[in-house]
A and B are shown apart, each in its own frame.
Chain A
Amino acid sequence: GAVVSQHPSRVICKSGTSVKIECRSLDFQATTMFWYRQFPKQSLMLMATSNEGSKATYEQGVEKDKFLINHASLTLSTLTVTSAHPEDSSFYICSGLGQSYEQYFGPGTRLTVT
């Protein structure tokens, strides 16, 4: 299957600061990427859909001004968590959409806000 990378794999930041997470498709071009959040022992919840060169589409209840998404190229999407708070601590996972609508997931980023 296709490979998606994320960086960093884990990050600790102080409350009120911002943190950026990168998602890269390494061996395919992902016109569409998705960002998910997963709390412990729960399923993946879609946060937003990111299309290259256009604004992201956010799911209901997700604050677009808090979770900034940029998809500037066919292989890179970034998620910036602005003014992070402890309740934003979670496992953030991105995926890239393949040619046949399959999604390939990155390894995830563990965010801890202290």
Chain B
Amino acid sequence: GENVEQHPSTLSVQEGDSAVIKCTYSDSASNYFPWYKQELGKGPQLIIDIRSNVGEKKDQRIAVTLNKTAKHFSLHITETQPEDSAVYFCAGTSGSRLTFGEGTQLTVNP
């Protein structure tokens, strides 16, 4: 099955700086890569996703890049704000099933 590794496990940045979280996956058949933001005590919220037919996708301050050859994808958050503080999860797919990374606790310091 799919194996997803996520780094770093914790990330602390100053407000206004950029944050980058990276994930690698094992299943070359994976073709859908979502990123979720989870605030304490809440369910994960889909913030951006990318499919294997594109290399980059951007939505305002958030972007995701995908390198299928190297089997890794990354989340980029620019101009970070305190409200971006949360746990972020990447996921790989096997059919319709998601395999999540271990999560990254992002802290944005004002």
For the residues of B in contact with A, the DSSP-based class is strand
Chain A residues positioned under 8 Å from B34 (CB to CB): 102-103
Number of interface residues of B (CB under 8 A): 20
Q: Are A110 and B41 in contact (CB under 8 A)?
A: yes
Q: How far is the CA of A104 from the CA of B36 in the complex (A)?
A: 10
- In the assembled complex, how far is the CB of residue A41 from the closest CB belonging to chain B, in whole angstroms? 8
Interface: B101 (CB within 8 A): yes
Q: Are B101 and A106 in contact, CB atoms less than 8 angstroms apart?
A: no
A102 in contact with B42 given A43-B102, A46-B98 (CB within 8 Å):
no
CB distance from A51 to the nearest CB of B (A): 10
Knowing that A108-B41, A108-B42, A108-B43 are A-B contacts, what are 16 other residue pairs whose CB atoms are under 8 Å apart, sorted by A's residue number? A1-B45, A6-B43, A32-B96, A34-B97, A42-B102, A43-B102, A43-B103, A44-B100, A93-B43, A102-B46, A104-B46, A105-B36, A105-B43, A105-B45, A107-B43, A110-B41
Binding site for B on A (CB under 8 A): 1, 4, 6, 32, 34, 42-44, 46, 49, 93, 97, 101-108, 110
Interchain Cβ contacts under 8 Å between A and B, 28 examples = A4-B43, A6-B43, A34-B97, A34-B98, A42-B103, A43-B89, A43-B100, A43-B101, A43-B103, A44-B100, A46-B97, A46-B98, A93-B44, A101-B96, A102-B32, A102-B46, A103-B34, A103-B46, A103-B98, A104-B46, A105-B36, A105-B44, A105-B45, A106-B43, A107-B42, A107-B43, A108-B41, A108-B43
